[in-house]
A and B are shown apart, each in its own frame.
Chain A
């Protein structure tokens, strides 16, 4: 079955450490997105990529970095510069140009990051 896999599901990090969250999709989607969700809040856009080797900052990119070396993969690194990294992180993908108008965004099941 096609879909998006995020790993790990739960992640604990010590303050001052960088950590990388994995996002892999086998849907042949060109566009991929990272969102952050805090308790009781909506989703906020961190970074997105419309095509391999290209990505754009979202609304809250500070303290995060991404790469897009392969179509299937869009890892997110939470750096020590991110002041409040504890949150639920969601990865999504879709077909670009349609903006998800044909099939919508497909989301992964998320990674819950806790800084200890």
Chain B
């Protein structure tokens, strides 16, 4: 049971490039989330999705795009990466019946040069 996986685990890119971070879950949870983790800030919500084709902005959505065509996948795209987007990105899921309890993936460490 893979649960929730993220790929790649590590990524180095250059400013201005487009980058897509993948998140895949095998639980069929309704809700999926993207967070970024930076020193001194804890985790901040970027975007979330309540179901396929339903997405909403979180606290820090600028510079990011998401889509959710299938329940199990929730990719996060940086359309034109900036150095300030260097961070660790976590995907999380939760079920509709226990929507406040979230399960986290292992994270993707992104460096933008």
Do A and B make up one complex?
no
Interface residues of A (CB under 8 A from B): none
